[in-house]
Amino acid sequence: MSIELFIYIASIVGDIKAVIGLTTIAFFMVMVVYEIITAIDDGYNSEYIKNRVNIRNKLVIATIVLAFISALLPNERTMYMMAGAHIGKEAIESETASKIHKIIDKKLDEYMLQLEGDKK
């Protein structure tokens, strides 16, 4: 995934999370109202009761799924931190970083030899 697309997704993930959260709350409210209406209704027809149970089960499942999705979506800041960590990892594993690491190691070895020589 390109970094531009990732930044775009990170910028809208907060809005997506808010919409999912509001939808979850709406589903929960519909489920509560549906249960109240069902409790008041005296439809004893077995087919009618079976339909009510199916609708209620679907509402419960949809509400739980939406709540989990909302809880698992990272926020915008976390997504930017993930992108930074990924870019940092790529920079450290690059060929240039490897060369810099070798140069620093060589210079440190030279300085250590110089310090050991000064002690004598």
Measured CA distances, 5 to 8, 9, 10, 11, 81 (Å): 5, 6, 9, 10, 15
Measured CA distances, 93 to 9, 87, 98, 101, 102 (Å): 26, 10, 7, 11, 13
How far apart CA 4 and CA 83 sit, in angstroms, is 11
What's the confidence (pLDDT) of residue 54? 83
What's the confidence (pLDDT) of residue 40? 72
8 Å CB contact between 13 and 79: yes
What's the confidence (pLDDT) of residue 83? 85
Q: Where are the domains of the chain?
A: 1-73, 76-120
From first to last of the 120 residues of the chain, give the pLDDT tens digit.
687 888 888 888 888 888 888 888 888 888 888 777 777 766 566 676 677 778 878 888 888 888 888 888 888 888 888 888 888 888 888 888 888 888 999 999 988 888 888 776
How far apart CA 95 and CA 81 sit, in angstroms, is 24
